Chains A and B, each alone.
Chain A
């Protein structure tokens, strides 16, 4: 079944763009996209609950390529489907021109194929190839409206992403020099048994440096606020919700969790970068007046928690990292959908010119509250549990100072989000009593669904732990 998750969207993409009469491709792209993403989410859920694929691959006998999947793959596929579906739904309202909607749906499909391919890959070079597919789609999506700000954001992402590409290819070169292939198992073996394990380890570090850039870690984060802040609403949802995670953070989880062996220097590097990202992102978020840029800096801070957990390198920490990736994808997509809704009503993202939207946009306000509480780690929402697991893993492994620092940073998160909520919705301001109305259904439904999901993940935590996190803990070697 795994190959269908790459081939079906690819075939759909080609069918949409055949010269049909009366724009049939345009008409069906939205519905077909949602249907495919719903099927992908259902398949991933089924695989998690049953501990295997829902059905055998019908094309297995015909295909020449091989994919691989484990517990982490299914979590990624589920997350990709949820966020991409939200982004597609928001695009329905954000783009008024039918052609723009169609182009967006096409590029979203390209991005989904890139992310699915990366999640289903068992090889570092293949991982890199699919990362590139998703990244090229992202450059275009950021510049989608062709404004100066969007083009600048896309250009910065392009330049930084190219540097990441060079580093990852250098890493692949070193893996080959070590005499190994580039599959996860071969690189793992080369690190331990090769005549030149140092080449495999240098290759691992170079690949990791590329992933730091792709994931927007401090100090490689320069491109991220511009890219998230200037992109159209649905693109921000897609980029912040999943693309940077599926390209950068997922690669880091694979590399550190199941490819590279335990190296104390790497652990120290990851923990330091994690703590620095948590605080640098949070402090920068406090100073922002642009809603989307504030959320972008918040993303840097939250990804810091994931990297911190990877540095801890225990089975529980790995599970916490993956769980926080899932939670962050859900609540950050929710908050960016919220920002898109507010922007659609006011025409800008300046929080200093907002205020008083609570009365006019009560549902958007409610979903923002749920998103911010989950981000800050308030029980019983999903974000609370993933942070608790990370803190617990750090404490158990003896990294007490890191645990305390990570806990204290949650207060900073709460501070900047409460400030956001007050400036946008609660406090009296420019928009108090104005004629602004609640965002339309296409904006509201994704927000409410994601808010419900983050609450459901929190309340259903025992099930999540059993079916999602327990298999992940076995992946660490």
Chain B
């Protein structure tokens, strides 16, 4: 439980780092750290396939794609970074408090004396999540196709 809580804490911190960072590279590192924390949590929840997928695709492949895309952009000046950092902190100062408040509410409810865990629906979690969810896979294939068309349509000028 303690390890899970530490991982959850790290996950939130990494997520805040990703959102609050002014430099895109730092944001991507924060995002990869979120994926690593999620992956470790999945390992602890006995979902090794999901954990491996999260680690290799989300923390690995997607981060590489982000790094390549960012390498095409212009670097921010030191002055820009200072201005953006101040502005971002001012706009998002409430975010950690909101997250902490929500977490406290949820934990308080889960730990309350009258709370009994939901009955185990039975079966392996993989079967539960994917055994009856083949239609979702078609939806995901279609979403990927949409993304592919997006690349073709929005970047077609470069191809010509």
Chain A interface (Cβ < 8 Å from any Cβ of B)? 6, 10, 13, 63-67, 99, 103, 106-107, 110, 113-114, 117, 121, 123, 125-126, 129-130, 132-133, 136-137, 139-140, 143-144, 146, 177-179, 181, 194-196
Contact = CB atoms under 8 A, between A and B. Distances in A.
Contact of A144 (B132, B135, B146, B153): B153
Interface in B111-125: 115-116, 118-119, 121
Nearest to A99: B156
Contacts of B133: 123, 125-126
Contact of B146 (A66, A125, A137, A146): A137
Contacts of A126: 133, 135-136, 139
B135 A132 contact: no
A64 B136 CA distance: 11
B135 A177 contact: no
Contacts of B153: 103, 107, 140, 144
Interface of B: 115-116, 118-119, 121, 128, 132-143, 145-147, 149-150, 152-154, 156-157
A388 B69 CA distance: 54
Contact of B145 (A63, A110, A123, A129): A110
Given A126-B135, A133-B139, 5 more contacts: A6-B138, A66-B132, A103-B156, A132-B139, A140-B154
Given A103-B153, A132-B139, A181 B121 contact: yes
Given A179-B121, A195-B118, A196-B118, A143 B154 contact: yes
Contacts of B146: 107, 110, 114, 133, 136-137, 140
Contacts of B156: 99, 103
A121 B135 contact: yes
24 contacts: A10-B138, A10-B141, A63-B134, A64-B134, A66-B135, A107-B146, A110-B142, A110-B146, A117-B138, A125-B133, A129-B136, A129-B139, A132-B139, A133-B139, A133-B142, A133-B143, A137-B146, A140-B146, A146-B157, A179-B119, A179-B121, A195-B116, A195-B118, A196-B115
Contacts of A137: 146, 149
Contacts of B128: 181
A103 B154 contact: no
Contacts of B150: 136, 139-140
Contacts of B154: 140, 143, 146
B159 to A, nearest CB: 11
Contacts of B115: 196
A128 to B, nearest CB: 9
